[in-house]
Amino acid sequence: MTASANAKFKPRVFSGIQPTNHLQLGNYLGAVKRFVQMQDSGVETIYCIVDLHAITVWQNPEDLRNATRELAAGYIASGLDPKRSILFNQSQVPGHAELGWVFNCVARMGWMNRMTQFKDKAGKNAENASLGLYAYPALMAADILLYHATHVPVGEDQKQHVELTRDIAIKFNHDFKVDFFPVTQPVIEGTATRVMSLRDGTKKMSKSDPSDASRINLTDDADTIAKKFRKAKTDPDPLPETIDGLAGRPEARNLVNIYAALAEVSAETVIAEFAGKQFGVFKPALADLAVARLSPIAEEMARLMADPAEIDRILGDGAERADAIAQPILDQTYDIVGMVRSRRG
């Protein structure tokens, strides 16, 4: 982690994941695993289940509740300790929506029009997308800045949103002549910042891809994981002798990167071990490694999911601790903006 752009702010990490569908390997390697590493490095960490973001597209209410608890279980099973980190769901801390509104009034239409995630998600039918989907990045800026977070670990696809967060902080500070919000740094590191689909090495692995074979879900059993890797799209050549030999071979590169991230070694080390080997050798080794790493997580998730009341208790406790940080920052924001705050209690 590099120093904050703004030395006055103490290092604080914030990140979030949407409770939609099951966690997939890209979320785990690109996000959750790195959240845990940051927690273990001793810095203050706040991790959120962004349910308000999830409803920017239609969610069945019962599925949303389940996905929220399952994501909490996924975080904890991956090593997130709700005592050392703050873990909560966004809607239980009202400051997110409130600061989100203020930022809707700071962000410019021109900035929002450049957001590629909106274009991807709204597709050809942008007229029919929710207003929330369009405003989504301003709410994300609020998530981060409500805690004066200095560092945000995310996958590559979220870089543009963190840059918008920086623009919002800078404009707010400038418009009100204050030095109130930090200019947050995205933390996009490691070999798995963009895990690709197993069916198409040029497409991101995603929870929402219609093809289940395109991704490894954290809830997949050992047989399913092995089958998905066996069927993963590749080219007919053996693995190259050097990393440069992966150029123009997106599927091969993706599998090598996944192996490296799971084994916690560099892609060069993986190539050194498997140089000249066929995928018939590499894929089973990758499947074994993935099963060894992921099945303890899946088992722990299932154990945690058997006691949803305990998960809800953890999220409620986390929300109270998050709110204790957020509310004073929201109050100061309202003071800066010029709101009269005379209500007692």
| Residues that bind ligand TRP in the complex, under the rule CB under 6 A | 14-18, 50, 53, 140, 143-144, 152, 154, 158, 161
- Of 157, 163, 273, 300, the one binding ligand AMP (CB under 6 A) is 157
- Examine the residue annotation and report whether 207 is marked as an active-site residue of this protein: yes
321 binds ligand AMP (CB under 6 A): no
Site for ligand AMP (CB under 6 A): how many residues? Answer: 18
Instruction: Tell me the residue number closest to ligand TRP, measured at CB.
Output: 16
Question: Which partner from the list ligand AMP, ligand TRP, none does 26 bind, CB cut-off 5 to 8 Å by kind?
Answer: ligand AMP
Considering the complex, what minimum distance in angstroms separates the CB of residue 15 from ligand AMP?
6
- Of 12, 13, 26, 68, the one binding ligand AMP (CB under 6 A) is 26
Measured from the CB atom, is 102 or 315 closer to ligand AMP? Answer: 315
Measured from the CB atom, is 227 or 321 closer to ligand TRP? Answer: 321
Residue of 119, 124, 159, 207 marked catalytic: 207
Question: Which partner from the list ligand TRP, ligand AMP, none does 27 bind, CB cut-off 5 to 8 Å by kind?
Answer: ligand AMP
Q: Which stretch binds ligand AMP (CB under 6 A): 153-161, 219-227, 317-325, 335-343?
A: 153-161
- Examine the residue annotation and report whether 33 is marked as an active-site residue of this protein: no
68 binds ligand AMP (CB under 6 A): no
In contact, 25 and 298? CB cutoff 8 Å: no
Tokens of 72: 């909490």
Q: Which stretch binds ligand AMP (CB under 6 A): 82-90, 168-176, 192-200, 311-319?
A: 192-200
**What is the footprint of ligand AMP within residues 75-134 (CB under 6 A)?**
none
Largest Cα–Cα separation, the chain: 72
Considering the complex, what minimum distance in angstroms separates the CB of residue 116 from ligand TRP?
12
- Of 4, 18, 78, 150, the one binding ligand AMP (CB under 6 A) is 18
Measured from the CB atom, is 153 or 240 closer to ligand TRP? Answer: 153
207 binds ligand AMP (CB under 6 A): yes
- Examine the residue annotation and report whether 231 is marked as an active-site residue of this protein: no
Question: What's the per-residue H, E or C state across the chain?
Answer: CCCCCCCCCCCEEEEEECCCCCCEHHHHHHHHHHHHHHHHCCCEEEEEECHHHHCCCCCCHHHHHHHHHHHHHHHHHCCCCCCCCEEEEHHHCCHHHHHHHHHHCCCCHHHHHCCHHHHHHHHHHHHHCCHHHHHHHHHHHHHHHCCCCCEEECCHHHHHHHHHHHHHHHHHHHHCCCCCCCCCEEECCCCCCCCECCCCCCCECCCCCCCHHHCCECCCCHHHHHHHHHHCCCCCCCCCCCHHHHCCCHHHHHHHHHHHHHHCCCHHHHHHHHCCCCHHHHHHHHHHHHHHHHHHHHHHHHHHHCCHHHHHHHHHHHHHHHHHHHHHHHHHHHHHHCCCCCCCC
Catalytic residue ranges: 121, 204, 207
